[in-house]
Structure 1
Amino acid sequence: MLGKVSLLLCLSFALAEQLCGKDAPNGCKVRLSLKTALGNDAYDWDDNEMFLFRSTLAYAMRKQVDGEEFEVSNIVVCEETARVSFWFVVTLPSQNSTTVDKSVLEKAIRESRSRFNSVFFLTDQTLEFVDIWPTLKSPVTYDTEPWLIAFAVVISIVVVGIVLLILVSWIHKKRNQKQALLDPEDKTDGHENGGFTQM
């Protein structure tokens, strides 16, 4: 009995090594740049951080694939390096020997990318899923276009300027008419030219 259990364990580790790696069709590589992102506040990557990564990936897979209960044990990690890079594959919960298709895995990672970044305090540049490009955020849309607001402000200033110009000239004309009514003996139409002399 003990021999069968040890044989079964050896086979499962051998199977996991075959599923995961550079040549695995559904495998993905991850690179983390903790020192670049966090500087002196960088934390050490250890088994607890790996567990957090695997659980976050299991969460992303649960959200992506309906009806499947992904666990941490379904995330197979291999070829870890000291510079914090590794390969991983995700196995189906119902069949541990079958990996999830890479396109499904990529979609799950893209949709949960912000979750990965916030969990590890990293960005898309410092937490890199090799060959899985981050989805660009949709551009910000406004109820009113910014150029339309600027155009309305400029047009309003021009209209106010024209109205003020007309109003000032009307007030000036009224003032001149009122002055003419108060001073009736002054009937000259213009100004006296002191430089002009009659001979």
Structure 2
Amino acid sequence: MLGRIVYFLCLPSVLAAQLCKPNAAEGFKVRLSIKTALGDKAYEWNRNQRFLFQAAIAFAMSHHLDLEFNVSNVLVCDETPRVSFWFVVTSPGDPSRLVGKESVELAVRESRDRINNVLLLNDATLEFVGVLPTLVAPVKPATPPWLIVFGVVIGIVGAGIVFLLVSTVVQKKRKEKEVAEEEEDDEEAQMKRTARNEGIYNTSFSEDDRNTQM
């Protein structure tokens, strides 16, 4: 009976040793540069910090797969004094089965900022070897592109209509002004002709007047 109890107590450690090892197919290597990130305020890497890391990964997995992951599902191994280690993630329903590497990578990328914040690090000082930088959701413009294009087209059409209206009004006023100037010129010319005719001396009338007097 005692032997069975010891066996079941040791079973998780045995499984962890078999599942988590360097260069595991579903594992990831992590490097931390705590001193570089925090300088004099750097903390010592210990089991408490490791627990925080495991909790952050469990959160990321729960968020990504919508399943309940616990700290016990995140296995850490091959830790070095310069703070590097390997980790794998086991299935919540079957601790002997590992979660696929692709799913773990996507979970880490989606929650990278949360993981960084927990350990007071950033993408440069908390390195997941082989994992691309933080996965940022694509920025969606506040205004749909088609609406922007529609607005530009309407603006151009509106500007064209305004230009045509203004041009028509300007041309009409210019034509009216030209007609008025022509009428003024005709009146002035007619007045000059009238004044010139009134000032001419008629010799025929002068001769008739002289004969009448005689």
State the TM-score, normalizing by the size of structure 1: 0.66
Q: Residue 135 of structure 1 corresponds to which residue in structure 2?
A: 134
Match of 1:63 in 2: 63
Change (3 A) 1:142 1:100: closer
- Paired residues, number: 143
> What is the Cα deviation at residue 7 of structure 1?
1.7
Detail structure 1 runs of 4+ shifted over 3 Å in the superposition.
135-144
- In structure 2, the partner of 1:100 is 99
Tell me, what secondary structure is at the counterpart of 1:38?
helix
1:186 matched residue in structure 2: none
Contact conserved, 1:20 with 1:78, CA < 8 A, in 2? Answer: yes
Superposed CA deviations along residues 105-152 of structure 1, whole A, max 9, x for unmatched, are 0000000000011111211010001101113546878779xxxxxxxx
Indicate how the Cα distance of structure 1 residues 83 and 142 shifts in structure 2: closer, same or farther if over 3 A, else same: same
Q: How does 1:1-199 map to 2 (within 5 A)?
A: 1-67=1-67, 69-135=68-134, 137=136
2:35–2:42 contact (8 Å) kept in structure 1 = yes
Code of the residue aligned with 1:15 in structure 2: it is L
- The structure having more radius of gyration, on CA atoms, is 2
Structure 2: how far apart are the matches of 1:34 and 1:23? 23
Following superposition, the deviation at residue 26 of structure 1 comes to 0.7
Unaligned 5+ runs, structure 2: 144-214
Q: Which has the higher helix share?
A: 2
Where does the alignment leave 5 or more consecutive residues of structure 1 unmatched? 145-199
Percent of paired sites with the same residue: 55
Offset at residue 12 of structure 1 (A): 2.8
**Matched-pair contact (CA < 8 Å) for 1:60–1:109:** yes
Q: CA deviation at 1:9?
A: 2.8
CA RMSD of aligned residues (A): 1.9
